[in-house]
């Protein structure tokens, strides 16, 4: 008894010591853990970006190009993004995104501890890396400042940055930053750009089902892409709608109706596809002046001279004209075949399919099946049955012309929302066409086509291709003559002649191998007679003629030998078209303009262009030449244009062996030039003159251009006294042929 009684105090002392030691050990462990945590936080916070930078943060934005009516015709960007404000995002989109990505967004302080703990437990249990449970603020921190890897240390840094962001910015500001920054597939960043890309409308106009579809993309844009994986996109959309229903953001009826809606994509056309050659000219200029970074990330606003409606007309005129040329010749075949190349048909993607086709456009299509009377083809998300009637011009049976795996060229006749299309078989033999249209009063370029297909060739045949101009050079010869005192009614002898030149005797001929005898200058130009033009050039001096061409703005090198007078000179279509605008402009040349104004992201004007005007010839000479070029249309080689009933002038041009076909003409308000040919110097075919190959394209375009308003009238030529007796011509007002070749 005594022993037990005496041991009581001792045991109590021992117990207290033990508890003290345990508490000490715990304190040491807590201190160590706290120190380690603080150390880790210090380590992970070292070199963290300063969130203060966000106060001045502006994401890289699209540089947009506008036409002369303020419509977007092109853009440059590393990331397709349209920066929007908080109010630009409708409530339905905000609710959808918060319900699926971060239900407690408006309540947490940047980090949702319980979600992170739960996600960490599941990851540890499964042996995976820390992932999931990120709030919108943490996602914003990751997208702006951190790498996309899912390592533990990156998660700590993400949380630290999120806390700092929450301390400095309001919830609407954080949401706006996130909504502008997030990647949503197919090169699109931010919900405003995504709404425009997937549905061709601003985010403000999104419906519940559309907002839910977009809100499901941040998790995995490629996996849930409605373009590539519609079934997954619909499931994800419905999951978002269910989350909104659970949060009380929508009613059961609204949720049911939204989930029953089919996904109706209205993919935005690539704006650069309207005038790709023109846009490329702009890009080169801007990058040379402002640098690539500013052009692709700085959000410039570039106001150009182009007219979207006229550009559409130009595209159609050139492609239809080339199709008409192709149909004049037999089916050539020689198609690329994917089966022969060992390419899987279900994996093939042609560059033409990157953009949504439109009715009336031309695309390359894949033959997926062939039957005795038809063929099945596909292009992008569209499929069509090519009937024999749509290939009748080939004069061949479809089964004899096409095979499984062939890549063919078709014209899109009609498109249906369900992915069905109607097409006609066309041919792409490699022939090219180019067109340039310039407003006479301002020098502004209103339309430019540099080739058949920009995806196939970036070479701009309107501005870069030096081609022989044929008889479209002759107006410079006649201008020099008129400027030196000749009149349209002066005469010249159209007869066989031999010129002594430095390279030996030169005996030219006319296109029709005939001679008309004494002929007026007016008629010789209208009928494009070669010998009268050469005689005039020889009398004036070919160097004088070339000097006049340079005064008109021709910068290409022109050799000083006599055949140049009938077109043996290489000039670009752009130069020739601009030069011809001098005639309807009363002898004044306005330097062609692509750009009218450039502003930066804040709207400050960086540059503003105004017309550069130069006197070239007298108004008297210009008006006389305009009247003579009017005769080309009324009674000469360009008579096909006379059916338009507008005041028009111009000149055809054809080179030896029919390698180049030209027509450059004008109304009082607009000058347009057209060229047709192959990139290599080969014949277009017998009698493929400027009047046959190029003029129909010019007519189709000018019909649209002139229908837009009052075409105006040419200034009348002055009363003239001739230097010789005019020869009376007993010839009908018809074109005997395009007499261009030299």
pLDDT in tens, 172-220: 999 998 999 899 998 899 999 999 999 999 999 999 999 999 999 999 9
Residues 301 and 314: their CA atoms lie apart, in Å, by 25
Q: Nearest CA to 434 among 455, 447, 418, 451?
A: 451
pLDDT over threshold 70, residue 448: yes
The number of beta carbons lying within 10 Å of the beta carbon of residue 312 is 16
How high is the pLDDT of residue 149? 57
How high is the pLDDT of residue 31? 59
Mean pLDDT lowest among 236-250, 652-666, 716-730: 716-730
SS3 category, 217: coil
User: DSSP label at 393?
Assistant: G
Q: Nearest CA to 660 among 696, 694, 632?
A: 694
How high is the pLDDT of residue 58? 66
Q: Which residue has the higher pLDDT, 89 or 133?
A: 89
Q: 């000149």: which residue's tokens? A: 651
Contact 437, 705 (CB under 8 A): yes
How high is the pLDDT of residue 738? 46
44 pLDDT tier (thresholds 50, 70, 90): very low
Mean pLDDT lowest among 26-35, 612-621, 705-714: 26-35
Residues 536 and 502: their CA atoms lie apart, in Å, by 18
Q: Which residue has the higher pLDDT, 661 or 373?
A: 661
Both tokens assigned to 22: 């345990």
How high is the pLDDT of residue 121? 52
pLDDT over threshold 60, residue 294: yes
Question: What mean pLDDT is predicted for residues 101-111?
Answer: 84
SS3 category, 408: strand
In sequence order, what DSSP letters do the residues of 27-63 get, joined into one string?
HHHHHHHHHHHHHHHHHHHTTPPPGGGGGG----B-E
pLDDT over threshold 50, residue 3: no
Q: Which residue has the higher pLDDT, 115 or 533?
A: 533
Instruction: Please provide the distance, in angstroms rounded to a whole number, between the alpha carbons at the two ends of the chain.
Output: 140
How high is the pLDDT of residue 23? 74
Q: Over the stretch 301-316, which tens digit does the pLDDT of each residue have?
A: 999 999 999 999 999 9
Both tokens assigned to 179: 């909504």
pTM: 0.81
Q: Over the stretch 228-261, which tens digit does the pLDDT of each residue have?
A: 899 999 999 999 999 999 999 999 999 999 999 9
Question: What mean pLDDT is predicted for residues 283-299?
Answer: 92
How high is the pLDDT of residue 49? 56
pLDDT over threshold 60, residue 284: yes
How high is the pLDDT of residue 30? 66
Residues 357 and 43: their CA atoms lie apart, in Å, by 54
Kindly compute the dihedral angle of the four CA atoms of residues 536, 537, 540, 544, in this order, to the nearest 10 degrees. Answer: 150
pLDDT over threshold 90, residue 404: yes
Residues 457 and 675: their CA atoms lie apart, in Å, by 17
Half-sphere exposure of 537 (CA within 13 A, CB side): 28
How high is the pLDDT of residue 133? 62
Q: Over the stretch 530-544, which tens digit does the pLDDT of each residue have?
A: 999 999 999 999 999
Q: Which of 77-81, 101-105, 133-137, 249-253 has the highest mean pLDDT?
A: 249-253
503 pLDDT tier (thresholds 50, 70, 90): confident
Q: Which residue has the higher pLDDT, 163 or 429?
A: 429
Both tokens assigned to 59: 């994401």
Residues 63 and 75: their CA atoms lie apart, in Å, by 5
User: Which active-site residues does the annotation give?
Assistant: 101, 471
pLDDT over threshold 90, residue 29: no
119 pLDDT tier (thresholds 50, 70, 90): low
Q: Over the stretch 667-679, which tens digit does the pLDDT of each residue have?
A: 999 999 999 999 9
Question: What mean pLDDT is predicted for residues 342-350?
Answer: 91
Q: Which residue has the higher pLDDT, 26 or 361?
A: 361
Q: Over the stretch 541-577, which tens digit does the pLDDT of each residue have?
A: 999 999 999 999 999 999 999 999 999 999 999 999 9
How high is the pLDDT of residue 739? 47
pLDDT over threshold 60, residue 655: yes
Percent of the chain with pLDDT over 90: 67
How high is the pLDDT of residue 48? 54
pLDDT over threshold 90, residue 10: no
How high is the pLDDT of residue 417? 82
How high is the pLDDT of residue 280? 96
Contact 36, 158 (CB under 8 A): no
Question: Bridge-partner residues for 672, per DSSP?
Answer: 437, 665
Residues 345 and 733: their CA atoms lie apart, in Å, by 57
Residues 531 and 518: their CA atoms lie apart, in Å, by 11
Residues 300 and 606: their CA atoms lie apart, in Å, by 9
Q: How high does pLDDT run on average in the chain?
A: 87
How high is the pLDDT of residue 730? 33
Percent of the chain that is helix, strand, coil (3-state, to 5):
45, 15, 40
Question: What mean pLDDT is predicted for residues 510-522?
Answer: 94
In sequence order, what DSSP letters do the residues of 120-169 get, joined into one string?
HHHHHHHT--------HHHHHHHHHHS-S---HHHHHHHHHHHHHHHHHS
């Amino acid at each position: 008894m005594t022993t037990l009684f005496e041991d009581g105090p001792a045991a109590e002392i021992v117990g207290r010591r033990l508890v003290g030691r345990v508490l000490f050990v715990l304190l040491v462990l807590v201190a160590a853990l706290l120190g380690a945590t603080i150390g880790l936080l210090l380590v992970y916070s070292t070199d963290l970006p300063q969130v203060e930078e966000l106060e001045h943060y502006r994401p890289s934005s699209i540089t947009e190009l506008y036409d002369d009516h303020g419509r977007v015709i092109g853009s440059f960007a590393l990331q397709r993004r349209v920066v929007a404000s908080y109010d630009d995002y409708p409530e339905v989109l905000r609710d959808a995104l918060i319900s699926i990505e971060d239900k407690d967004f408006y309540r947490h302080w940047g980090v949702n501890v319980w979600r992170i703990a739960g996600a960490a437990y599941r990851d540890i249990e499964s042996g995976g890396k820390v992932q999931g449970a990120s709030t919108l603020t943490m996602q914003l921190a990751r997208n702006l400042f951190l790498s996309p890897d899912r390592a533990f240390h990156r998660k700590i840094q993400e949380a630290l940055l999120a806390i700092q962001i929450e301390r400095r910015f309001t919830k609407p500001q954080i949401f706006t930053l996130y909504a502008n920054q997030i990647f949503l597939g197919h090169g699109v960043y931010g919900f405003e750009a995504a709404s425009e890309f997937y549905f061709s409308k601003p985010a403000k106009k999104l419906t519940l089902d559309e907002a839910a579809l977009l809100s499901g993309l941040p998790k995995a844009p490629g996996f849930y892409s409605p373009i590539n994986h519609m079934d997954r996109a619909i499931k994800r959309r419905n999951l978002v709608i269910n989350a909104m229903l659970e949060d009380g953001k929508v009613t059961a009826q609204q949720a049911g109706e939204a989930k029953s809606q089919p996904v109706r994509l209205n993919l935005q056309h690539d704006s650069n596809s309207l005038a790709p050659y023109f846009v490329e000219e702009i890009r080169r200029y801007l990058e040379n002046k402002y640098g690539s970074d500013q052009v692709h990330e700085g959000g410039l606003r570039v106001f150009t001279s182009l007219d979207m409606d006229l550009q559409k007309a130009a595209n159609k005129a050139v492609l239809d004209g080339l199709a008409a040329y192709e149909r004049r010749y037999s089916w050539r075949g020689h198609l690329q075949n994917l089966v022969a190349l060992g390419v899987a048909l279900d994996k093939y993607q042609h560059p033409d399919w990157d953009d949504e086709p439109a009715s009336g456009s031309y695309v390359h299509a894949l033959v997926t099946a062939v039957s005795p009377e038809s063929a099945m083809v596909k292009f992008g998300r569209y499929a069509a049955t090519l009937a024999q009637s749509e290939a009748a011009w080939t004069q061949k049976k479809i089964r004899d012309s096409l095979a499984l795996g062939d890549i063919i060229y078709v014209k899109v006749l009609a498109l249906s929302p369900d992915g069905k299309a109607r097409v006609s078989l066309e041919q792409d033999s490699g022939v090219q066409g180019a067109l340039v249209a310039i407003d006479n009063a301002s020098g502004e370029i209103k339309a430019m086509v540099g080739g058949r297909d920009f995806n196939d060739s970036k070479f701009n045949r309107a501005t870069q291709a030096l081609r022989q101009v044929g008889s479209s050079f002759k107006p410079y010869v006649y201008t020099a003559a008129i400027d030196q005192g000749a009149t349209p009614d002066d005469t010249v002898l159209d007869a066989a002649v031999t010129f002594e030149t430095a390279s030996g005797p030169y005996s030219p001929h006319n296109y029709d191998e005939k001679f008309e005898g004494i002929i007026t200058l007016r008629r010789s130009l209208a009928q494009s007679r070669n010998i009268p033009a050469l005689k005039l050039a020889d009398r004036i001096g070919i160097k004088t003629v070339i000097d006049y061409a340079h005064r008109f703005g021709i910068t290409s090198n022109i050799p000083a030998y006599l055949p140049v007078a009938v077109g043996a000179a290489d000039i670009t279509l752009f130069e020739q078209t601009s030069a011809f605008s001098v005639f309807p402009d009363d002898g004044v040349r306005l330097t062609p303009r692509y750009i009218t104004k450039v502003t930066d992201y804040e709207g400050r004007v960086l540059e503003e262009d105004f017309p550069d005007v130069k006197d070239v010839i007298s108004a008297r000479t210009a008006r006389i030449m305009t009247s003579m070029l009017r005769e080309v249309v009324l009674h000469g080689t360009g008579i096909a244009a006379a059916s338009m009933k507008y005041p028009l002038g111009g000149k055809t041009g054809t080179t030896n062996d029919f390698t180049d076909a030209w027509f450059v003409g004008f109304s009082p308000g607009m000058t347009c030039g057209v060229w047709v040919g192959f990139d290599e110097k080969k014949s277009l075919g017998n009698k493929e003159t400027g009047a046959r190959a190029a003029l129909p394209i010019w007519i189709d375009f000018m019909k649209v251009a002139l229908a837009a308003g009052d075409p105006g009238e040419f200034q009348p030529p002055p009363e003239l006294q001739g230097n010789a007796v005019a020869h009376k011509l007993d010839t009908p007002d018809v074109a005997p042929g395009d007499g261009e070749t030299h």
